[in-house]
Amino acid sequence: MNSTLISVRGATKAYPMGASRLEVLRGIDVDITAGEAVCIVGSSGAGKSTLLHVMGTLDKPTLGKVFFKGVDLTRESDEKLAEFRNRSMGFVFQFHHLMAEFTALENAMMPCRIGGLSLAESKEKAARLLELMGLSARAAHYPSELSGGEQQRVAIARALVRDPEVLFADEPTGNLDTVNAAKIQDLFFELKEKLNLTLVVVTHDLGFAQKFPKVLRMRDGLWAT
Ligand SMILES: Nc1ncnc2c1ncn2[C@@H]1O[C@H](COP(=O)(O)OP(=O)(O)OP(=O)(O)O)[C@@H](O)[C@H]1O
Ligand SMILES: [Mg+2]
C-alpha cells in the first residue's frame, strides 16, 4: 500500500532584500510516498536546496505546511525537530562535512551518540553501516586518510546509522570524479532497496536523474510545467 510520507502544502520562502523581498519558493506542493525515489532537478537558483531543506525541517517555510505522516512539522519546536531529524531523516550534501579530528567509525556513530545511544550500541551500528558501504577496512582512518569517494561513503553511513525513513541528498556526487560518482549513485539505489528507504535527491547530473523513476523539475520557486 502506498502511503504519503511527506507532504508540502503551499510552501513559500521569501527573504527580505533591502526594500524588496526575494521569493525563492512561491507556493510549492509536493507529496513524497513512502518507499519512492524522487529526483529534483532545475537550474541553479531555482530553489531546489531550499525546498529540500524545508522538506527536511532544516529550514522553515515563510508560509505553508510540511507534514510527516500527517503530522504538521511546522508547529514543532526546534528542539523537537532536531530530535525528530536525528531519528527519522538522513542528510547527505555535496561536501561530506566529516569532522577531521574523528575517525570514520567515530564520524559514522555521531548521530547515535547525539541520540543518546550507548557507546557500545553506537559503535556496533556504525560498524554495520561502514561494512555495508564496503569500508570496514577504513574504520580507523581519519577523513584526511580517505579518498573523496570514501569520505562521501562515510557521510552516507552517518546519514543512515539511525535507520531513518527518508534520505535527503543535495548534489551528493557533485564533488566526485565520474567513476566515483557513478559508484555512489548506484549505491544510493542499492541502499534504498536494502534499507527500505525513501529517497529524495537533488542533482544537476542528468545521468543520475535518469536513474530515478520520478523526476520533478523546478523553475523559479515553482514546479516547471
Ligand atoms: N539566506 C538567503 N538570503 C537571500 N537569498 C537566499 C538565501 N538563501 C538562498 N537564497 C537565494 O535563493 C535562491 C534559491 O537558492 P537555492 O539554494 O535553493 O537554489 P538551488 O536550486 O539549490 O541552486 P543550485 O543548483 O545552484 O544549488 C537563490 O537565488 C539564492 O540566491
Ligand atoms: Mg542547491
All domains of the chain in start order, with CATH: 37-61+77-217 (3.40.50.300)
Ligand nearest to the CA of residue 53, numbered in listed order? 1
Whole-number Å distance, alpha carbon 186 to ligand 1 midpoint, is 28
**Overall average pLDDT of the 12-28 stretch:** 95
The model's pLDDT over 156-192, given as tens digits with 9 standing for 90+, comes to: 999 999 999 999 999 999 999 999 999 999 999 999 9
- Stated pTM of the model: 0.97
Query: How far, in Å, CA of 70 to CA of 74, rounded?
Result: 12
* Spacing, Cα 139 to ligand 1 middle (Å): 35
CA dihedral (171, 172, 178, 183) in degrees, to 10, reads -140
Grid coordinates in use for 19?
A: 526594500
- pLDDT, residue 1, reads 55
Q: What's the pLDDT at 225? A: 76
pLDDT digits (tens, 9 = 90+) for 39-83: 999 999 999 999 999 999 999 999 999 999 999 999 999 999 999
pLDDT digits (tens, 9 = 90+) for 79-135: 999 999 999 999 999 999 999 999 999 999 999 999 999 999 999 999 999 999 999
**From the alpha carbon of 221, which atom of ligand 1 is closest?**
14
**Closest ligand to residue 47's CA:** 1
Ligand 1 residue neighbourhood (C-beta within 6 Å) = 15, 22, 24, 42, 44-50
Ligand 1 mutation target, pool 12, 15, 20, 24, most atoms within 8 A of CB: 24
Q: Which residues pair with 92 in a beta bridge?
A: 169
Rounded CA-CA distance 120/177 in Å is 36
Q: Look at residue 2 in the predicted model and tell me its pLDDT.
A: 67
Sign of CA dihedral 205, 206, 210, 215: positive
